[in-house]
Amino acid sequence: MSSVSEQKITAQDEVADLLVDLIRINTSNPTHPERPAAEWVAEKLDEVGISSQIIESEPGRASTVARIEGTDSARPPLLIHGHLDVVPADAGEWTVDPFGGEVKDGFVWGRGAIDMKDMDAMVLALVRDWARTGQRPPRDVVLAFVSDEEAGGRKGAHYLVDNHPDLFADCTEAISEVGGYSISLNEQARIYAVQTAEKGIDWLRLRAKSAPGHGSMINKDNAVTHLADAVSRIGNYDWPIVITDTVRALIRGIGEVLGQDLDPDQPEQWLPLIGGAARMLGATIQNTANPTMLQAGYKANVIPSTAEATIDCRFLPGQEQALLDTIDELLGEHVEREFEVRDIAVETSFDGALVDAMSAALKAEDPGAIPLPYLMSGGTDAKSFSTLGLRCFGFSPLLLPADLDFMALFHGIDERVPIDGLKFGVRVLDRLLGSC
């Protein structure tokens, strides 16, 4: 009999353990820089003979990049990118330690479990398995585990694109987060949403100014009042419905699956059919502008001279100017705006050899899989890499329990991912990267 140490370790065997270890490295942006996680990734690659480099945009803000040589040097490489940072988590709100990497009830729990250390772990598990068994992909695969995605990527993907474009110069396509996951429409029908588009980002700083004064006196020129009025108008604005080509393709596909003639221009007709996915997909039929932060004053009896607010605006492809024009109308004469973060919308078509390979890999592991394109309401590092001319797709495949409210877990409480889903993702990625 062979000892445990002599037994073959597969990608499916170690993917959950890798995710647990990575979750336990707190990379909350911006308080916990990613360098320890970047070093951990480099060590895991080095253990199986894959060389990599760690690149810092500033001390501690680190990304790890590696290249796996394929069998056909004439084919352009595929980029797989994933971010190492996560949003903060308040432990008092969770039922487990958000950075404990706990395993229970068939899930790995913790901040980053789905956003997106799961994909990082799946890719690491797969390439480590390849290295141990001597397998090589048909085309070169470039791996980029990057920093700062949760704050717009200026210290991560944007930095790499601006300062080290040679690392990705010959890549033509990329895959990353928030795509390839299952959405159960009913007991028989299961689609897999592949991200082909995402909304653009305008994080706006609003500022109102006025003369300061004593809180006990009448003051109609009050910066706080001016700002509050503008924030209320923006937060309560009813944005018009705009159905993009990607959303039309998705809804028509869902209609075919369900045997219903769904009208994409009537979202009240189809949103109730997609369960928890409506949380995200309902935000992809219009621009959005959500007030998220307010700052004003320093003492209860002093009317401040300045009041500020942050508005998280997301615009559909081709809709940025329409959004900004509307915001300017809603601001009023006493409030000005400036950009904190501004980034593009991304959209590509759902066709080509890579799309065919993604679809085939999903169907091989789930014969009932129906891959469809979708537009994501949030943003990813695809915004950066697409500027190099890459076609970018969200494809971090997961087979999810039908009753799991997956969308609620993004930046949410008790974030978790099913271990069986991780193993499914590894198998799908193995099929995809071994054939595309």
**Tens digit of each residue's pLDDT (9 = 90 or more) over 57-106:** 999 999 999 999 999 989 999 999 999 999 999 999 999 999 999 999 99
**What whole-number distance in Å separates Cα of residue 57 and Cα of residue 243?**
38
**What whole-number distance in Å separates Cα of residue 64 and Cα of residue 310?**
32
Is residue 274 within 8 Å of residue 183, measured between CB atoms? yes
Percent of the chain clearing pLDDT 70 (strictly above):
98
CA dihedral 391, 61, 342, 264 (to 10 degrees): 50
Fold of domain 198-338: Alpha-Beta Plaits (3.30.70)
Confidence of residue 2 (pLDDT cuts 50, 70, 90): very low
**What's the mean pLDDT in 176-185?**
93
Confidence of residue 216 (pLDDT cuts 50, 70, 90): confident
Task: Give the Cβ contact number of residue 75 at 10 Å.
Answer: 15
Residue from 166, 14, 154 nearest 85 by CA: 154
- Give CATH superfamily name and number for 4-182+345-433: Zn peptidases (3.40.630.10)
- Which distant-in-sequence residues (6+ apart) come within 8 Å of 35 by Cβ? 54, 56, 60, 61, 62
**What's the mean pLDDT in 209-215?**
89
User: Token pair for residue 23?
Assistant: 């979750």
Residue from 165, 196, 132 nearest 371 by CA: 196
Cα distances from 77 to residues 139, 167, 302, 324, 390, in angstroms, run 6, 11, 61, 38, 11
Confidence of residue 3 (pLDDT cuts 50, 70, 90): very low
What single-letter amino acid sits at 267?
P
Q: So what's the pLDDT on residue 276? A: 80
Q: Report H helices in 212-271.
A: 223-235, 245-258, 267-270
Residue from 193, 150, 209, 425 nearest 333 by CA: 209
The residue extents of the domains of the chain are: 4-182+345-433, 198-338
**pLDDT exceeds 90 at position 384:** yes
Q: What is the mean pLDDT of the chain?
A: 94
Confidence of residue 274 (pLDDT cuts 50, 70, 90): confident
Q: So what's the pLDDT on residue 7? A: 58
Residue from 376, 374, 317 nearest 345 by CA: 317
